[in-house]
Structure 1
Protein backbone atom coordinates (compact mmCIF):
# COMPACT_ATOMS: atom_id res chain seq x y z
CA UNK A 1 0.00 0.00 0.00
CA UNK A 2 1.25 3.51 -0.70
CA UNK A 3 1.10 6.22 1.96
CA UNK A 4 -2.47 5.62 3.04
CA UNK A 5 -3.91 8.45 5.18
CA UNK A 6 -7.18 9.23 6.93
CA UNK A 7 -8.22 11.13 3.79
CA UNK A 8 -8.33 7.75 2.04
CA UNK A 9 -11.11 6.42 4.26
CA UNK A 10 -14.02 5.66 1.96
CA UNK A 11 -17.54 6.82 2.74
CA UNK A 12 -18.70 5.08 5.92
CA UNK A 13 -22.30 6.30 5.96
CA UNK A 14 -24.71 3.69 7.22
CA UNK A 15 -22.00 1.84 9.13
CA UNK A 16 -21.64 1.60 12.91
CA UNK A 17 -18.33 1.31 14.74
CA UNK A 18 -17.64 0.60 18.40
CA UNK A 19 -14.30 2.03 19.54
CA UNK A 20 -13.09 1.17 23.03
CA UNK A 21 -11.06 3.76 24.89
CA UNK A 22 -12.32 6.52 22.60
CA UNK A 23 -12.15 9.24 25.26
CA UNK A 24 -8.47 10.02 24.57
CA UNK A 25 -5.38 9.23 22.52
CA UNK A 26 -5.62 6.89 19.57
CA UNK A 27 -9.23 6.03 20.32
CA UNK A 28 -10.33 9.65 20.21
CA UNK A 29 -8.47 10.22 16.93
CA UNK A 30 -10.05 7.07 15.49
CA UNK A 31 -13.56 8.10 16.55
CA UNK A 32 -13.15 11.57 15.02
CA UNK A 33 -11.86 10.17 11.74
CA UNK A 34 -14.65 7.62 11.46
CA UNK A 35 -17.37 10.16 12.23
CA UNK A 36 -15.77 12.52 9.74
CA UNK A 37 -16.13 9.80 7.11
CA UNK A 38 -19.85 9.51 7.84
CA UNK A 39 -19.88 6.60 10.28
CA UNK A 40 -21.99 6.28 13.40
CA UNK A 41 -19.56 5.77 16.27
CA UNK A 42 -20.12 4.39 19.75
CA UNK A 43 -17.41 5.72 22.04
CA UNK A 44 -16.99 2.97 24.63
CA UNK A 45 -15.32 4.71 27.56
CA UNK A 46 -14.54 4.13 31.19
CA UNK A 47 -14.49 7.91 31.67
CA UNK A 48 -17.84 8.99 30.26
CA UNK A 49 -17.27 12.70 30.91
CA UNK A 50 -14.10 12.71 28.82
CA UNK A 51 -15.88 10.67 26.18
CA UNK A 52 -18.60 13.30 25.97
CA UNK A 53 -15.96 15.98 25.37
CA UNK A 54 -14.72 14.02 22.36
CA UNK A 55 -18.21 13.20 21.11
CA UNK A 56 -19.78 16.64 21.44
CA UNK A 57 -18.14 18.22 18.35
CA UNK A 58 -19.01 15.13 16.30
CA UNK A 59 -22.75 15.73 16.66
CA UNK A 60 -25.39 13.07 16.19
CA UNK A 61 -22.97 10.58 14.64
CA UNK A 62 -21.32 9.94 18.01
CA UNK A 63 -22.71 8.57 21.23
CA UNK A 64 -20.93 7.64 24.45
CA UNK A 65 -21.52 4.45 26.40
CA UNK A 66 -19.96 3.41 29.69
CA UNK A 67 -17.49 0.52 29.39
CA UNK A 68 -14.95 -0.56 32.00
CA UNK A 69 -12.94 -3.41 30.54
CA UNK A 70 -11.56 -4.15 34.01
CA UNK A 71 -15.03 -5.18 35.17
CA UNK A 72 -16.81 -8.04 33.40
CA UNK A 73 -20.19 -6.89 34.73
CA UNK A 74 -19.60 -3.58 32.92
CA UNK A 75 -18.60 -5.45 29.76
CA UNK A 76 -21.79 -7.50 29.85
CA UNK A 77 -23.95 -4.46 30.50
CA UNK A 78 -22.35 -2.58 27.62
CA UNK A 79 -22.71 -5.49 25.19
CA UNK A 80 -26.37 -5.94 26.10
CA UNK A 81 -27.06 -2.37 24.97
CA UNK A 82 -25.60 -2.76 21.46
CA UNK A 83 -28.09 -3.77 18.77
CA UNK A 84 -25.73 -4.10 15.83
CA UNK A 85 -22.20 -3.12 14.87
CA UNK A 86 -20.29 -3.38 11.64
CA UNK A 87 -16.81 -2.97 13.10
CA UNK A 88 -15.49 -3.43 16.63
CA UNK A 89 -12.19 -1.66 17.34
CA UNK A 90 -10.55 -3.09 20.47
CA UNK A 91 -8.39 -0.04 21.09
CA UNK A 92 -8.39 0.61 24.86
CA UNK A 93 -5.53 -0.43 27.08
CA UNK A 94 -3.34 0.18 30.10
CA UNK A 95 0.45 0.04 30.07
CA UNK A 96 3.09 -0.86 32.65
CA UNK A 97 0.89 -0.07 35.65
CA UNK A 98 1.73 -1.19 39.21
CA UNK A 99 0.52 -4.57 40.40
CA UNK A 100 -3.25 -4.12 40.55
CA UNK A 101 -6.30 -6.29 40.11
CA UNK A 102 -9.44 -5.89 38.05
CA UNK A 103 -12.88 -6.13 39.63
CA UNK A 104 -12.79 -9.86 38.85
CA UNK A 105 -9.34 -10.41 40.36
CA UNK A 106 -7.30 -10.55 37.15
CA UNK A 107 -3.90 -8.89 36.78
CA UNK A 108 -4.81 -5.43 35.52
CA UNK A 109 -2.98 -5.45 32.18
CA UNK A 110 -3.91 -9.00 31.17
CA UNK A 111 -7.43 -8.47 32.49
CA UNK A 112 -8.03 -5.15 30.74
CA UNK A 113 -6.06 -5.43 27.52
CA UNK A 114 -6.87 -9.05 26.73
CA UNK A 115 -9.62 -10.59 28.85
CA UNK A 116 -11.89 -7.53 28.76
CA UNK A 117 -11.67 -7.36 24.97
CA UNK A 118 -11.97 -11.14 24.63
CA UNK A 119 -15.23 -11.04 26.59
CA UNK A 120 -16.54 -7.99 24.75
CA UNK A 121 -15.86 -9.48 21.33
CA UNK A 122 -17.49 -12.78 22.24
CA UNK A 123 -20.58 -11.09 23.62
CA UNK A 124 -20.97 -8.92 20.51
CA UNK A 125 -19.95 -11.46 17.88
CA UNK A 126 -23.47 -12.33 16.75
CA UNK A 127 -24.04 -8.63 15.98
CA UNK A 128 -20.74 -7.83 14.21
CA UNK A 129 -21.21 -7.79 10.44
CA UNK A 130 -17.79 -6.88 9.03
CA UNK A 131 -14.65 -7.11 11.18
CA UNK A 132 -12.86 -6.93 14.51
CA UNK A 133 -9.66 -4.91 14.91
CA UNK A 134 -7.54 -5.52 18.00
CA UNK A 135 -4.70 -3.22 18.95
CA UNK A 136 -1.41 -4.81 19.93
CA UNK A 137 2.06 -3.28 20.26
CA UNK A 138 5.68 -3.72 19.29
CA UNK A 139 6.05 -4.69 22.94
CA UNK A 140 4.44 -8.03 22.18
CA UNK A 141 8.03 -9.08 21.53
CA UNK A 142 8.73 -8.86 25.27
CA UNK A 143 5.83 -11.11 26.14
CA UNK A 144 5.46 -14.77 27.01
CA UNK A 145 2.10 -16.37 27.76
CA UNK A 146 2.34 -18.15 31.10
CA UNK A 147 -0.75 -20.33 30.95
CA UNK A 148 -0.03 -21.70 34.43
CA UNK A 149 -0.09 -18.21 35.96
CA UNK A 150 -1.35 -15.57 33.50
CA UNK A 151 -2.57 -13.33 36.33
CA UNK A 152 0.65 -13.23 38.36
CA UNK A 153 -0.84 -14.96 41.36
CA UNK A 154 2.23 -17.09 42.08
CA UNK A 155 5.17 -15.35 40.36
CA UNK A 156 6.73 -11.98 41.05
CA UNK A 157 5.01 -9.16 39.20
CA UNK A 158 7.07 -7.26 36.65
CA UNK A 159 5.17 -4.50 34.90
CA UNK A 160 6.86 -4.59 31.48
CA UNK A 161 6.80 -8.37 30.99
CA UNK A 162 3.17 -8.26 32.13
CA UNK A 163 2.42 -5.61 29.53
CA UNK A 164 4.23 -7.68 26.89
CA UNK A 165 2.17 -10.72 27.84
CA UNK A 166 -1.07 -8.76 27.40
CA UNK A 167 -0.02 -7.42 23.99
CA UNK A 168 1.11 -10.87 22.84
CA UNK A 169 -2.26 -12.18 24.00
CA UNK A 170 -3.95 -9.52 21.83
CA UNK A 171 -2.14 -10.85 18.76
CA UNK A 172 -2.74 -14.51 19.55
CA UNK A 173 -6.43 -13.69 20.02
CA UNK A 174 -6.73 -11.68 16.80
CA UNK A 175 -5.13 -14.43 14.70
CA UNK A 176 -7.06 -17.25 16.38
CA UNK A 177 -10.34 -15.37 16.02
CA UNK A 178 -9.75 -14.98 12.29
CA UNK A 179 -8.97 -18.68 11.93
CA UNK A 180 -12.12 -19.68 13.80
CA UNK A 181 -14.29 -17.27 11.83
CA UNK A 182 -12.90 -18.60 8.56
CA UNK A 183 -13.40 -22.21 9.65
CA UNK A 184 -17.04 -21.43 10.43
CA UNK A 185 -17.53 -19.89 6.99
CA UNK A 186 -18.19 -16.46 8.46
CA UNK A 187 -17.78 -13.33 6.36
CA UNK A 188 -16.48 -11.48 9.43
CA UNK A 189 -12.71 -11.06 9.65
CA UNK A 190 -10.26 -10.26 12.41
CA UNK A 191 -7.15 -8.10 12.12
CA UNK A 192 -4.55 -6.67 14.48
CA UNK A 193 -2.76 -3.34 14.38
CA UNK A 194 -0.13 -1.36 16.27
CA UNK A 195 0.65 2.38 16.32
CA UNK A 196 4.44 2.33 16.41
CA UNK A 197 5.72 4.90 18.86
CA UNK A 198 2.99 7.49 19.10
CA UNK A 199 2.44 10.29 21.56
CA UNK A 200 -0.69 9.40 23.56
CA UNK A 201 -1.84 9.61 27.14
CA UNK A 202 -1.09 5.91 27.62
CA UNK A 203 2.56 6.57 28.46
CA UNK A 204 1.74 8.89 31.35
CA UNK A 205 -0.17 6.49 33.59
CA UNK A 206 2.43 4.00 34.83
CA UNK A 207 2.58 5.68 38.27
CA UNK A 208 6.37 5.39 38.18
CA UNK A 209 9.53 7.11 37.00
CA UNK A 210 8.63 5.79 33.54
CA UNK A 211 6.05 8.57 33.23
CA UNK A 212 8.85 11.12 33.18
CA UNK A 213 11.12 9.03 30.97
CA UNK A 214 8.43 8.44 28.35
CA UNK A 215 7.31 12.04 28.59
CA UNK A 216 10.75 13.01 27.34
CA UNK A 217 10.61 10.25 24.73
CA UNK A 218 7.31 11.60 23.45
CA UNK A 219 9.25 14.54 22.01
CA UNK A 220 10.52 12.08 19.39
CA UNK A 221 7.26 10.17 18.94
CA UNK A 222 4.92 10.57 16.02
CA UNK A 223 1.54 12.19 16.57
CA UNK A 224 -1.54 10.33 17.73
CA UNK A 225 -3.06 11.16 14.33
CA UNK A 226 -0.28 9.20 12.63
CA UNK A 227 -0.34 6.46 15.24
CA UNK A 228 -4.05 5.86 14.63
CA UNK A 229 -3.61 5.24 10.90
CA UNK A 230 -2.90 1.48 11.19
CA UNK A 231 -6.09 0.82 13.14
CA UNK A 232 -8.09 3.10 10.84
CA UNK A 233 -6.77 1.24 7.80
CA UNK A 234 -7.51 -2.12 9.42
CA UNK A 235 -11.01 -0.95 10.35
CA UNK A 236 -12.06 0.60 7.03
CA UNK A 237 -9.98 -0.49 4.04
CA UNK A 238 -11.89 -2.83 1.75
CA UNK A 239 -8.70 -4.67 0.83
CA UNK A 240 -7.53 -5.24 4.43
CA UNK A 241 -7.01 -8.99 4.81
CA UNK A 242 -8.13 -10.96 7.84
CA UNK A 243 -5.38 -12.48 9.96
CA UNK A 244 -2.90 -9.71 9.16
CA UNK A 245 -1.05 -7.25 11.39
CA UNK A 246 -0.97 -3.59 10.33
CA UNK A 247 1.70 -1.17 11.54
CA UNK A 248 3.80 1.82 10.44
CA UNK A 249 6.06 1.51 7.40
CA UNK A 250 9.00 3.53 8.80
CA UNK A 251 12.29 2.32 10.30
CA UNK A 252 11.74 -0.34 12.98
CA UNK A 253 7.97 0.29 12.62
CA UNK A 254 8.27 3.26 14.97
CA UNK A 255 6.50 5.75 12.70
CA UNK A 256 5.02 6.09 9.26
CA UNK A 257 2.05 5.05 7.18
CA UNK A 258 0.12 1.76 7.40
CA UNK A 259 1.41 -1.46 5.91
CA UNK A 260 1.21 -5.18 6.66
CA UNK A 261 3.96 -6.03 9.16
CA UNK A 262 5.29 -9.21 10.73
CA UNK A 263 4.94 -10.37 14.31
CA UNK A 264 7.16 -12.76 16.23
CA UNK A 265 7.00 -16.55 16.23
CA UNK A 266 5.30 -16.67 19.65
CA UNK A 267 2.32 -14.77 18.25
CA UNK A 268 1.89 -17.40 15.53
CA UNK A 269 1.98 -20.42 17.85
CA UNK A 270 -1.37 -22.06 17.18
CA UNK A 271 -1.13 -24.45 20.14
CA UNK A 272 -0.61 -21.57 22.57
CA UNK A 273 -3.37 -19.57 20.87
CA UNK A 274 -5.84 -22.42 21.29
CA UNK A 275 -4.83 -22.95 24.92
CA UNK A 276 -5.08 -19.22 25.65
CA UNK A 277 -8.53 -19.18 24.03
CA UNK A 278 -9.73 -21.98 26.27
CA UNK A 279 -8.29 -20.34 29.38
CA UNK A 280 -9.86 -17.01 28.41
CA UNK A 281 -13.28 -18.61 28.05
CA UNK A 282 -12.87 -20.21 31.48
CA UNK A 283 -11.73 -17.00 33.17
CA UNK A 284 -14.36 -14.73 31.61
CA UNK A 285 -17.25 -17.17 31.40
CA UNK A 286 -17.78 -16.08 27.79
CA UNK A 287 -18.05 -18.92 25.28
CA UNK A 288 -17.96 -18.02 21.59
CA UNK A 289 -20.63 -19.22 19.20
CA UNK A 290 -19.68 -18.99 15.54
CA UNK A 291 -22.25 -18.60 12.79
CA UNK A 292 -21.64 -18.40 9.06
Structure 2
Protein backbone atom coordinates (compact mmCIF):
# COMPACT_ATOMS: atom_id res chain seq x y z
CA UNK A 1 0.00 0.00 0.00
CA UNK A 2 1.43 3.38 -1.04
CA UNK A 3 1.61 5.99 1.71
CA UNK A 4 -0.74 8.92 1.24
CA UNK A 5 1.44 11.33 3.19
CA UNK A 6 2.19 14.58 1.36
CA UNK A 7 3.80 17.93 2.08
CA UNK A 8 0.29 19.37 2.47
CA UNK A 9 0.56 17.91 6.00
CA UNK A 10 3.06 20.66 6.82
CA UNK A 11 0.25 23.21 6.84
CA UNK A 12 1.17 26.82 7.58
CA UNK A 13 4.58 26.96 9.24
CA UNK A 14 4.79 30.73 9.44
CA UNK A 15 6.73 31.75 12.53
CA UNK A 16 8.78 28.52 12.64
CA UNK A 17 12.55 28.69 12.20
CA UNK A 18 14.41 25.62 10.93
CA UNK A 19 18.05 24.81 10.17
CA UNK A 20 18.77 22.37 7.34
CA UNK A 21 22.38 21.28 6.86
CA UNK A 22 23.50 20.22 3.41
CA UNK A 23 20.69 22.21 1.84
CA UNK A 24 22.22 22.89 -1.57
CA UNK A 25 21.53 19.51 -3.18
CA UNK A 26 19.49 16.34 -3.02
CA UNK A 27 17.33 15.56 -0.02
CA UNK A 28 18.57 18.61 1.89
CA UNK A 29 17.52 20.91 -0.95
CA UNK A 30 14.10 19.26 -1.20
CA UNK A 31 13.63 19.46 2.57
CA UNK A 32 14.54 23.15 2.71
CA UNK A 33 12.38 23.96 -0.31
CA UNK A 34 9.29 22.27 1.15
CA UNK A 35 9.70 23.97 4.52
CA UNK A 36 10.22 27.42 2.99
CA UNK A 37 7.18 26.92 0.76
CA UNK A 38 5.15 26.06 3.87
CA UNK A 39 6.06 29.41 5.43
CA UNK A 40 8.95 28.53 7.74
CA UNK A 41 12.09 30.61 7.89
CA UNK A 42 14.76 28.20 6.70
CA UNK A 43 18.44 28.61 7.53
CA UNK A 44 20.44 26.87 4.81
CA UNK A 45 23.65 25.68 6.49
CA UNK A 46 26.03 25.06 3.57
CA UNK A 47 29.69 24.76 2.63
CA UNK A 48 29.33 26.69 -0.62
CA UNK A 49 27.80 30.11 0.05
CA UNK A 50 27.56 31.02 -3.63
CA UNK A 51 25.61 27.87 -4.48
CA UNK A 52 23.57 28.29 -1.31
CA UNK A 53 22.58 31.80 -2.38
CA UNK A 54 21.48 30.53 -5.79
CA UNK A 55 19.41 27.76 -4.20
CA UNK A 56 17.82 30.19 -1.75
CA UNK A 57 16.97 32.64 -4.54
CA UNK A 58 15.10 29.88 -6.37
CA UNK A 59 12.98 29.01 -3.32
CA UNK A 60 9.60 30.50 -2.50
CA UNK A 61 9.73 31.78 1.06
CA UNK A 62 11.96 33.14 3.80
CA UNK A 63 15.51 31.79 3.61
CA UNK A 64 18.86 32.67 5.13
CA UNK A 65 22.19 31.19 4.00
CA UNK A 66 24.93 30.52 6.59
CA UNK A 67 28.40 29.02 6.15
CA UNK A 68 28.96 25.59 7.69
CA UNK A 69 31.61 22.98 6.93
CA UNK A 70 30.99 19.91 9.06
CA UNK A 71 34.46 18.59 8.22
CA UNK A 72 36.02 21.52 10.08
CA UNK A 73 35.30 21.98 13.78
CA UNK A 74 36.40 25.62 13.57
CA UNK A 75 33.52 26.21 11.12
CA UNK A 76 31.13 24.26 13.35
CA UNK A 77 32.13 26.34 16.38
CA UNK A 78 31.75 29.57 14.43
CA UNK A 79 28.31 28.70 13.08
CA UNK A 80 26.13 29.61 16.11
CA UNK A 81 27.47 33.17 16.12
CA UNK A 82 26.50 33.70 12.48
CA UNK A 83 22.81 34.18 13.26
CA UNK A 84 20.77 35.46 16.21
CA UNK A 85 17.93 33.89 18.13
CA UNK A 86 16.56 30.40 18.66
CA UNK A 87 15.39 27.79 16.18
CA UNK A 88 12.44 25.42 16.39
CA UNK A 89 14.00 22.49 14.54
CA UNK A 90 17.54 21.40 13.71
CA UNK A 91 17.78 18.99 10.76
CA UNK A 92 21.17 17.29 10.49
CA UNK A 93 20.90 16.21 6.87
CA UNK A 94 24.36 16.73 5.34
CA UNK A 95 26.39 13.65 4.46
CA UNK A 96 29.24 12.50 2.23
CA UNK A 97 30.63 9.35 0.67
CA UNK A 98 34.40 9.82 0.52
CA UNK A 99 36.28 8.78 -2.62
CA UNK A 100 39.30 7.55 -0.69
CA UNK A 101 40.47 7.53 2.89
CA UNK A 102 41.07 11.13 3.87
CA UNK A 103 41.02 13.09 7.09
CA UNK A 104 39.30 16.27 8.14
CA UNK A 105 41.38 19.25 9.26
CA UNK A 106 40.88 17.95 12.81
CA UNK A 107 42.34 14.53 11.98
CA UNK A 108 39.06 12.59 11.81
CA UNK A 109 38.38 9.96 9.16
CA UNK A 110 36.51 12.04 6.59
CA UNK A 111 33.23 10.13 6.43
CA UNK A 112 32.89 9.67 10.18
CA UNK A 113 33.96 13.27 10.80
CA UNK A 114 31.51 14.80 8.34
CA UNK A 115 28.53 12.51 8.85
CA UNK A 116 28.73 12.06 12.61
CA UNK A 117 31.32 14.03 14.59
CA UNK A 118 30.57 17.36 12.90
CA UNK A 119 26.79 17.09 13.41
CA UNK A 120 27.33 15.81 16.97
CA UNK A 121 29.37 18.90 17.81
CA UNK A 122 26.93 21.21 16.02
CA UNK A 123 23.99 19.81 17.96
CA UNK A 124 25.75 20.17 21.30
CA UNK A 125 26.76 23.75 20.53
CA UNK A 126 23.26 24.74 19.36
CA UNK A 127 21.17 22.71 21.76
CA UNK A 128 20.30 25.52 24.18
CA UNK A 129 18.81 27.43 21.23
CA UNK A 130 16.67 24.56 19.88
CA UNK A 131 13.06 24.76 21.05
CA UNK A 132 11.36 21.68 19.64
CA UNK A 133 13.01 18.95 17.55
CA UNK A 134 16.31 17.52 16.35
CA UNK A 135 16.11 15.30 13.27
CA UNK A 136 19.15 13.28 12.26
CA UNK A 137 19.26 11.69 8.82
CA UNK A 138 20.54 8.15 9.17
CA UNK A 139 20.36 5.32 6.65
CA UNK A 140 19.35 1.69 6.38
CA UNK A 141 22.95 1.03 5.36
CA UNK A 142 23.61 0.99 9.11
CA UNK A 143 22.11 -2.52 9.14
CA UNK A 144 25.19 -3.87 7.35
CA UNK A 145 27.82 -2.32 9.56
CA UNK A 146 29.63 -2.37 12.88
CA UNK A 147 31.95 0.03 14.67
CA UNK A 148 35.48 -0.87 15.72
CA UNK A 149 35.78 1.12 18.92
CA UNK A 150 39.50 0.36 19.14
CA UNK A 151 40.07 1.98 15.72
CA UNK A 152 37.15 4.35 15.04
CA UNK A 153 39.05 6.34 12.41
CA UNK A 154 40.17 3.22 10.53
CA UNK A 155 43.83 4.11 10.77
CA UNK A 156 44.95 0.48 10.87
CA UNK A 157 41.95 -1.38 9.41
CA UNK A 158 41.05 -1.71 5.76
CA UNK A 159 39.13 1.29 4.45
CA UNK A 160 36.65 1.38 1.56
CA UNK A 161 34.05 3.95 0.62
CA UNK A 162 30.62 2.49 1.27
CA UNK A 163 31.53 0.40 4.33
CA UNK A 164 32.92 3.64 5.80
CA UNK A 165 29.67 5.39 4.92
CA UNK A 166 27.58 2.60 6.48
CA UNK A 167 29.54 2.69 9.74
CA UNK A 168 29.19 6.49 9.87
CA UNK A 169 25.43 6.02 9.62
CA UNK A 170 25.47 3.36 12.33
CA UNK A 171 27.24 5.99 14.44
CA UNK A 172 24.40 8.42 13.67
CA UNK A 173 21.85 5.79 14.68
CA UNK A 174 23.60 5.10 18.00
CA UNK A 175 23.99 8.83 18.63
CA UNK A 176 20.25 9.25 18.06
CA UNK A 177 19.52 6.40 20.47
CA UNK A 178 21.58 7.96 23.26
CA UNK A 179 20.37 11.47 22.48
CA UNK A 180 16.77 10.33 22.85
CA UNK A 181 17.59 8.57 26.14
CA UNK A 182 19.25 11.67 27.58
CA UNK A 183 16.46 14.01 26.51
CA UNK A 184 13.81 11.74 28.04
CA UNK A 185 15.80 11.34 31.27
CA UNK A 186 16.09 15.11 31.58
CA UNK A 187 12.39 15.61 30.70
CA UNK A 188 13.51 17.96 27.97
CA UNK A 189 10.87 19.66 25.82
CA UNK A 190 13.07 18.82 22.83
CA UNK A 191 12.48 15.50 21.05
CA UNK A 192 14.71 13.75 18.55
CA UNK A 193 14.12 11.49 15.55
CA UNK A 194 16.08 9.45 13.02
CA UNK A 195 15.24 9.04 9.34
CA UNK A 196 16.18 7.05 6.25
CA UNK A 197 15.45 8.73 2.87
CA UNK A 198 15.61 5.58 0.78
CA UNK A 199 18.01 5.28 -2.12
CA UNK A 200 18.16 8.74 -3.71
CA UNK A 201 20.48 9.01 -6.69
CA UNK A 202 21.28 12.70 -6.51
CA UNK A 203 21.65 13.13 -2.77
CA UNK A 204 25.06 11.77 -1.77
CA UNK A 205 26.47 12.21 -5.23
CA UNK A 206 25.89 15.95 -5.13
CA UNK A 207 26.69 16.56 -1.49
CA UNK A 208 29.95 14.66 -1.78
CA UNK A 209 31.16 16.92 -4.56
CA UNK A 210 34.45 15.80 -6.02
CA UNK A 211 34.92 13.19 -3.31
CA UNK A 212 32.52 10.73 -4.93
CA UNK A 213 33.91 8.26 -7.46
CA UNK A 214 32.67 9.52 -10.82
CA UNK A 215 32.47 6.08 -12.48
CA UNK A 216 30.64 4.56 -9.55
CA UNK A 217 28.40 7.63 -9.41
CA UNK A 218 27.16 7.02 -12.95
CA UNK A 219 26.29 3.40 -12.17
CA UNK A 220 24.55 4.31 -8.89
CA UNK A 221 22.61 7.11 -10.57
CA UNK A 222 21.39 4.88 -13.40
CA UNK A 223 20.16 2.17 -11.04
CA UNK A 224 18.70 4.54 -8.43
CA UNK A 225 16.78 6.48 -11.05
CA UNK A 226 14.90 3.25 -11.78
CA UNK A 227 14.35 1.77 -8.30
CA UNK A 228 14.99 4.68 -5.95
CA UNK A 229 13.18 7.73 -4.62
CA UNK A 230 13.39 11.17 -6.13
CA UNK A 231 14.60 13.95 -3.82
CA UNK A 232 11.10 15.01 -2.78
CA UNK A 233 10.23 11.47 -1.70
CA UNK A 234 13.63 11.26 -0.03
CA UNK A 235 12.81 14.35 2.03
CA UNK A 236 9.43 12.95 3.10
CA UNK A 237 10.68 10.89 6.10
CA UNK A 238 12.30 14.00 7.58
CA UNK A 239 9.19 16.10 7.02
CA UNK A 240 7.03 13.27 8.40
CA UNK A 241 8.85 13.69 11.74
CA UNK A 242 7.62 17.29 11.81
CA UNK A 243 3.99 16.65 10.93
CA UNK A 244 3.04 13.33 12.51
CA UNK A 245 2.34 12.45 16.20
CA UNK A 246 5.02 9.76 16.42
CA UNK A 247 6.93 8.77 19.58
CA UNK A 248 10.18 10.60 20.35
CA UNK A 249 13.17 8.55 19.28
CA UNK A 250 11.32 7.05 16.30
CA UNK A 251 13.15 5.92 13.17
CA UNK A 252 11.22 6.87 10.04
CA UNK A 253 12.07 5.08 6.82
CA UNK A 254 10.54 4.04 3.54
CA UNK A 255 7.59 1.67 3.13
CA UNK A 256 8.72 0.30 -0.23
CA UNK A 257 10.39 -3.06 -0.83
CA UNK A 258 13.91 -3.16 0.64
CA UNK A 259 13.60 0.51 1.55
CA UNK A 260 14.51 1.71 -1.95
CA UNK A 261 11.37 3.58 -2.99
CA UNK A 262 8.18 4.48 -1.17
CA UNK A 263 6.46 6.79 1.26
CA UNK A 264 7.48 7.55 4.86
CA UNK A 265 6.68 5.08 7.60
CA UNK A 266 7.92 4.05 11.03
CA UNK A 267 10.79 1.65 10.47
CA UNK A 268 12.91 -0.89 12.31
CA UNK A 269 16.62 -0.68 13.01
CA UNK A 270 19.33 -3.27 13.46
CA UNK A 271 20.17 -4.84 16.83
CA UNK A 272 23.52 -3.04 16.68
CA UNK A 273 21.70 0.29 16.44
CA UNK A 274 19.72 -0.54 19.61
CA UNK A 275 22.73 -1.23 21.83
CA UNK A 276 22.63 1.32 24.66
CA UNK A 277 26.08 0.34 25.90
CA UNK A 278 27.67 0.99 22.51
CA UNK A 279 25.67 4.19 22.20
CA UNK A 280 27.10 5.47 25.48
CA UNK A 281 30.65 4.47 24.53
CA UNK A 282 30.28 6.20 21.15
CA UNK A 283 28.84 9.31 22.81
CA UNK A 284 31.80 9.55 25.19
CA UNK A 285 34.21 9.07 22.28
CA UNK A 286 32.50 11.88 20.34
CA UNK A 287 32.63 14.20 23.33
CA UNK A 288 36.38 13.67 23.64
CA UNK A 289 37.03 14.09 19.93
CA UNK A 290 34.98 17.26 19.53
CA UNK A 291 35.49 18.70 23.02
CA UNK A 292 31.76 19.48 23.18
CA UNK A 293 29.03 18.37 25.58
CA UNK A 294 25.25 18.43 25.57
CA UNK A 295 23.81 20.67 28.24
CA UNK A 296 20.25 19.46 28.78
TM-score bracket, shorter-length normalisation: over 0.9
Tell me if 1:180 matches 2:186: no
Partner SS for 1:64: strand
Corresponding residue for residue 223 of structure 2: 217
Distance in 2, matches of 1:9 and 1:2, equals 16
The answer to whether structure 1 residue 282 and structure 2 residue 283 are counterparts is no
Q: 1:261 aligns with which of 264, 267, 274?
A: 267
Match of 1:197 among 190, 196, 199: 199
> 1:65 is matched with which residue?
66
Paired residue for 1:34? 35
Cross-structure match for 2:146: 144
Using a 3 Å threshold, how does the CA distance of structure 1 residues 140 and 96 change in structure 2: closer, same or farther? farther
Report what 2:88 is aligned to.
86
TM-score (norm 2): 0.94
After the TM superposition, which of the residue ranges 19-28 and 213-222 deviates more from structure 2?
213-222
**CA distance in structure 1 between the aligned counterparts of 2:40 and 2:127, rounded to whole angstroms:** 20
The Cα RMSD (Å) is: 1.5
- Aligned to 1:228, the other structure's residue is in SS state helix
Contact between 1:40 and 1:61, CA under 8 Å: does it hold in 2?
A: yes
Residue 97 of structure 1 is matched in structure 2 by: 99
More moved, 88-97 vs 20-29:
88-97
| Contact persistence 1:44–1:64 (CA under 8 A) | yes
Residue ranges of structure 1 left out of the alignment (5+ in a row): none
Give CA-to-partner distance per residue, 1:148-201, whole Å, 9 cap, x none. 111112222122221111000111111211110010010100100011112314
- Report the equivalent of 1:245: 251
| Gaps in structure 2 of 5+ consecutive residues | none
| Off by >3 Å, runs of 4+ in structure 1 | none
- SS state at 2:148 partner: coil
Q: CA deviation at 1:96?
A: 4.5
Aligned to 1:161: 163
Give the length in aligned residue pairs.
289
Question: What is the TM-score with the length of structure 1 in the denominator?
Answer: 0.95
